Amino acid sequence: MRATLEEAGGIFIKLGHVSPVPRETMQPFVETQLQQPVDTVFSSLEWEPIAAASIAQVYRAHHAELGEVVVKVRRPGLEDTTSATPGRSGDSPD
């Protein structure tokens, strides 16, 4: 289906996009997952996602020890079927 939408272009590509879950929903969800306030883990977290898809959203953040990082958060309500791999922004897989 994705290939068909991409081939059609324009508005059909847009139909495949997903709106981001708002901060008012995501922040309490993230803090529940972390079992602590976000600001105790990250010195900053930009709540405007740099990417949003059907499974997860991605945010820029700053960690005191790791520096600039990206945080990928699964949308609330999805089963725990994936795992997280920490890394600094700019790191590439080996």
By CB neighbour count within 10 A (0-12 exposed, 13-18 middle, 19+ buried), where does 42 fall?
Answer: buried
Residue 54 pLDDT class (50, 70, 90 cuts): confident
Give the residue-averaged pLDDT of 42-50.
96
Q: How far is CA 83 from CA 5, 6, 79, 90, in A?
A: 29, 29, 11, 20
Give the residue-averaged pLDDT of 38-50.
96
Residue 7 pLDDT class (50, 70, 90 cuts): low
Does residue 62 surpass a pLDDT of 80?
yes
Spatial neighbors of 13 by CB under 8 A, at least 6 apart, are 5, 6
Bridge partners, residue 70, by sequence: 60
Structure confidence at residue 12 (pLDDT):
46
